[in-house]
Amino acid sequence: MGRLSEKLENNEFVVTAEITPPKGIDIGRTRNVAMQLKEYIDAANATDNQRGIVRMSSMATCHILAEVGVEPIMQIACTHRNRIAIQSCVLGAHALNIPNLLIVTGDHVLLGDNPEAKAVYDVDSIQAIQLVKHMCDGYDSAGNELHPPPRIYVGATANPLADPLELQALRVEKKVEAGAKFIQTQVVFDVSQLIELLDLVEVPVHWLAGIMPLRSAKSARFINKRIPGIEVPDHIITRLEGAKKPAEEGVQIAIELCQELKNIKKISGIHIMTIAWEESVPLIIQGANLR
């Protein structure tokens, strides 16, 4: 297993980040970003055709991350794969020494630039986690023995803004029961909403709180309009509007959120998500004394 699982299972605080795969075949920027971040983070999550937009595969991106010394977390979206393809990805991840998976439902194709594509959803995220656990126990979905079985550390996601929140808590519990070892949350701007979800979930699991630095009030409004599951509060938009240097203010807001979150007993780590602004990650980590 990898560094992420070792630290979490030893109850050590972790820091992860999101690295978006390239839209083409040029991997130069991906490698450069990974090299810049590797001294600051415990692992990096390579997204899987996020927002329904075609990008390099998560598996290939994870291989690139590993080559430069960053432990990868391979995202698998149920939107794009049936159960056969999901299991194929698990075997491929093990073969390439990718130690971590993050199973997500995925963004619907109608949100992206290929709305004519067909969404799959053969299994949901809970069922996909169960598939992976079954494989790690030594069998594929058809009952064929896997010898030796893959060894993968599996995570899932949760959204503190979900309504009703009780249903979200129930789904988190089902994901943990299915085999998820850590839960990565959607972006948190209101810590009280996350605390409410933490209090509703009654099974033990490692929580990684999602953080997103904002460059400007304009970018915050774009997120509210175009990215489902995230809501930037009005008071943060007002703060960005009044700042002389909005990008610096956005980093400071992220730092303050990290400082608040790391003092919550159930939080095991911070996951930093950026929109092509990975250079802000070290600033946040250093500013919040996460390292």
Which pLDDT score, from 0 to 100, does residue 114 have? 77
Res 60: pLDDT: 97
Question: Quick one: pLDDT at residue 234?
Answer: 94
pLDDT in tens, 195-215: 999 999 999 999 999 999 999
21 pLDDT band (50/70/90 cuts)? very high
- Among residues 242, 235, 226, the alpha carbon closest in space to that of 190 is found at 235
Find where tokens 């075609």 sit: 54
Share of the chain above pLDDT 90, in %: 86
Q: What is the CATH class of 3-214+261-281? A: alpha beta
* Mean predicted lDDT score pLDDT of the chain: 94
Q: Which amino acid is at 88?
A: S
d(CA 227, CA 87): 29
Q: Is residue 172 very low, low, confident or very high in pLDDT (cuts 50, 70, 90)?
A: very high
Segment 179-195 mean pLDDT: 96
Residue 74, pLDDT > 90, answer yes
For the ranges 10-14, 28-32, 112-116, 133-137, the lowest mean pLDDT is seen at: 112-116
Q: What is the mean pLDDT of residues 125-133?
A: 97
Residue 109 in this model has a pLDDT that exceeds 90:
no
Residue 113's pLDDT is what? Answer: 78
* Alpha-carbon distances of 171 from 174, 196, 229, rounded to whole Å: 5, 15, 16
The ranges assigned to domains in the chain are 3-214+261-281
Q: Is the pLDDT of residue 107 over 80?
A: no
> By C-alpha distance, which of 66, 67, 65, 47 is closest to 57?
47
- pLDDT score recorded for residue 77: 93
- Residue 110: is its pLDDT beyond 70? no
User: In the predicted model, is pLDDT for residue 97 greater than 70?
Assistant: yes
Name residues whose C-beta falls within 8 Å of residue 252's C-beta, 6 or more positions apart in sequence. Answer: 287
Q: How many degrees, rounded to 5, is the angle at CA 2 between CA 21 and CA 132?
A: 75
Residue 103 to residue 113: CA distance in whole angstroms: 23
Q: Determine if the pTM surpasses 0.85.
A: yes
Structure tokens given for 196: 């409410």
What whole-number distance in Å separates Cα of residue 213 and Cα of residue 244?
A: 16
